[in-house]
Amino acid sequence: MRIGIEAERANNPVKTGVEHYTQQLILQFSELDHENEYILYLRTKPEEWIKQLPKNFSYKVMPFPIFWTQLRLSWEMLLHRPDVLFIPASSMPLIHPRKTVVTVHDLAFMLYPETYTPFMRCFHMFLDVLVSQMAWRIIAVSESTKKDFIKFWKVSEKQITVVHHGYTEVGLSAKGLGDSKIQNQLPEKFVLFLSTIQPRKNLEGLIDAFRLFKQEHPDDPHKLVVAGKIGWKAESALEKIERNKDVVIYLNHVSDADRAMLYQKATALCVPSFYEGFGMWILEAFDAGVPVITSNVSSMPEVAGDSAEYCDPKNVESIKKALGSVLLDPARAAELVRLGRQQLKGFSWRKCAEATLGVVTSK
C-alpha cells in the first residue's frame, strides 16, 4: 500500500501542538511499519530527521506560494494519487483519493468565533465542511472534539474514531540545560503558561488572577512565566503582559530543550484555556513531575482525569483559588504529581500511532 502524508506541518522549525503531533506520528510509523510505502508531501526543504527515515519512506518537495494544500497538493493527487492520503490537521486538498483520512483537533472557531479573525473563521469553516462531506475516515483527538464535530457537521458517529495524543517525555540532557539562553531570565520560583498567545488560551484571565493572588499573598515568591509564539488577536494579551512586567515574564517561542528546562524548573503549569481540543502540555507536565492547574471544560478533564486542580476559566476568582491551592499547599501539589504519573499510563505516542495506523490502513 502507498500511503501519502501531508507532512509540511512536521517540517515546520517552529513546532507547536499540531506540528509535534505530526512529527511524532511519522517517527512512530517508521518504527511500526516496514511493509507499506510512505511518501511525505512537503512545501519546503526537509529537516534532517526526515532525510533519515527508513527506505520505505520518501519525500517530495513541492514549492507553492499560497493555499499549498488546497491547490498544489490537489494537483499532485490528480497526477500521482496514493492508495491512502493522511492529513494530520484538517486542511484537506480539494482533489484527493477516495480513501482520505483527516485528523480534526478542535472546533474552537465555532465555539469561540470572537477569538478568530473573520478570514480565519471562514477558512476553518470551509476546511471542516470539506472534511465532513468528503473525508473517508475522520480521527478526533478527544471525545470532546468528536462530540463537537458531530454536533456542528452532523456526520455519522461511526465515521469518527477517537485517538488520543501521546506525549513527549521531558528528558533533560546536561547539554540542553547548560546551553539554554533563557535561564538568566527566570525567577527562582514560577508558574508556567506554555501556549500560543491567542484569546481562547485565556492568558489575560490568568494574569488578572495571578495579580489578585500576589495582592493577597505579597510575600509569595512566585512569578508567572509565559512561553509561546504570538498568534492572532494577541495584541490585548501582549499589552497586559507589558502592564504587569513586575510579575510576568514573557519568553516568546522556546525550543524543545528550553521547554523541557521550563517544565523542570516550574512550580506548576497553568492551562486556563476556554477550549482545547486536547492539550498535550498537560501530559508533558505530568511526565516532568509538575502539578497542573487547568480548566474544567472541553477536553481538559478528559486528558487530566483526577490529576489536576481545576478552575472555571471564565471566573478570575476561581483561577486565583486554584493557584493558591497548589502554590500554598505543598501536600496538594505533591498529590497532584503522584496522580499525574498514574494518569500518564493511558497515553503514549506509540499507542496513538498504532491506533492511527489502524484507521489509515483499514478496509
Query: Could you give the 3-state DSSP secondary structure of residue 105?
Result: coil
pLDDT at 246: 96
Contacts for 190 with CB less than 8 Å, ≥ 6 apart: 222, 223, 224, 225, 249, 265, 266, 267
| Residue 183 confidence class, pLDDT cut points 50, 70, 90 | confident
In whole angstroms, what is the distance from residue 339 CA to residue 56 CA? 40
Is residue 22 pLDDT above 70, yes or no? yes
pLDDT at 15: 83
| Residue 175 confidence class, pLDDT cut points 50, 70, 90 | very low
User: Across all residues in the chain, what is the average pLDDT?
Assistant: 94
- List strands edge to edge, sheet with 137-140: 57-61, 37-42, 2-6, 84-87, 100-104, 137-140, 160-162
pLDDT at 177: 53
In whole angstroms, what is the distance from residue 288 CA to residue 219 CA? 27
Is residue 307 pLDDT above 90, yes or no? yes
Tens-digit pLDDT profile for residues 223-246: 999 999 999 899 999 999 999 999
Q: How far is residue 201 from each of residues 9, 55, 204, 244, 274, measured CA to CA in Å?
A: 21, 41, 9, 18, 6
Is residue 186 pLDDT above 80, yes or no? yes
Tens-digit pLDDT profile for residues 77-117: 999 999 999 999 978 999 999 999 999 999 999 998 988 88
Q: Which domains does the chain have, with CATH numbers?
A: 2-166+348-360 (3.40.50.2000), 174-346 (3.40.50.2000)
Per-residue pLDDT, averaged over 121-132, amounts to 94
Bigger pLDDT: 57 vs 120: 57
Contacts for 174 with CB less than 8 Å, ≥ 6 apart: none
Tens-digit pLDDT profile for residues 312-348: 999 999 999 999 999 999 999 999 999 999 999 999 9
pLDDT at 171: 59
In whole angstroms, what is the distance from residue 307 CA to residue 1 CA? 41
| Residue 255 confidence class, pLDDT cut points 50, 70, 90 | confident
Is residue 141 pLDDT above 50, yes or no? yes
pLDDT at 303: 97
Provide the whole-model pTM: 0.92
Are residues 91 and 70 in contact, defined by beta-carbon separation less than 8 angstroms? yes
Taking the CA atoms of 235, 265, 291 and 213 in sequence, report the sign of the dihedral they define.
negative
From the number of C-beta atoms within 10 Å of its C-beta (0-12, 13-18, 19+), residue 169 rates as middle
Are residues 5 and 41 in contact, defined by beta-carbon separation less than 8 angstroms? yes
Is residue 173 pLDDT above 60, yes or no? no
